[in-house]
Amino acid sequence: MTPEESAPARDGHLADEPQVRQALADADRGSLAAVVAAHPASPLAWTELADLADSEGRAIEAFAYAAVAVDLACDQLTRSGWVPGTPVPWVDEPNRAYLRALDTQRRAAEQLGLDDIAQRLAGELASADAEAPARIASEFTPTQLISIVSSDDAFAPSSSTSAYEGEPLAEPAAADAAGED
């Protein structure tokens, strides 16, 4: 290689974190901070905490947690040979922590009126993976950690049910022989 040539830019790749993924899968909203405390160097754990804060409307916390996730991810990416401004492909699942953290921090910056920072983060996200913003919007929501079904007796039969007493419903009219309604 001559001095005029440069080494090809390397795509960034975060390390897979199976233990963190399992801890997050086992966690609920109330125990998410404990997962982060148990794995403080994990960009994925911090990203999930940022998303939780965002889903609860806590923009300052979402911004701060996402900033930690972005910093941790950038450190890890740089150690793997990545150069800022080069791709961090969405298709590599561990990279999604970094891309999601950038987007969460961008949204929080917008909510806080930090427009210049929000624009810079949007640019970083687009340069990392141009398709990531659309993927995040379609595959992740700020409320992804909210339980849909509660663990209480929400679906238990009520003790105050009573039978309907009134006229029976009429039988539906049969279609005529030609099949018309």
SS3 10: coil
130 in any annotated domain = yes
- Angle at which helix 96-111 crosses helix 43-55, to 10 degrees, equals 30
Q: Tell me the C-alpha to C-alpha distance, in Å, between residue 152 and each of 111, 147, 148.
A: 34, 12, 12
124 in any annotated domain = yes
State residue 169's pLDDT score: 55
Instruction: Residue 124: give the domain boundaries.
Output: 18-139
Q: What is the pLDDT of residues 113-139, one digit of tens each?
A: 999 999 999 999 999 999 999 999 888
Q: What is the pLDDT of residues 45-93, one digit of tens each?
A: 999 999 999 999 999 999 999 999 999 999 999 999 999 889 999 999 9
**Tell me, what CATH number does 24's domain have?**
1.25.40
34 in any annotated domain = yes
154 in any annotated domain = no
Say how many domains are in the chain. Answer: 1
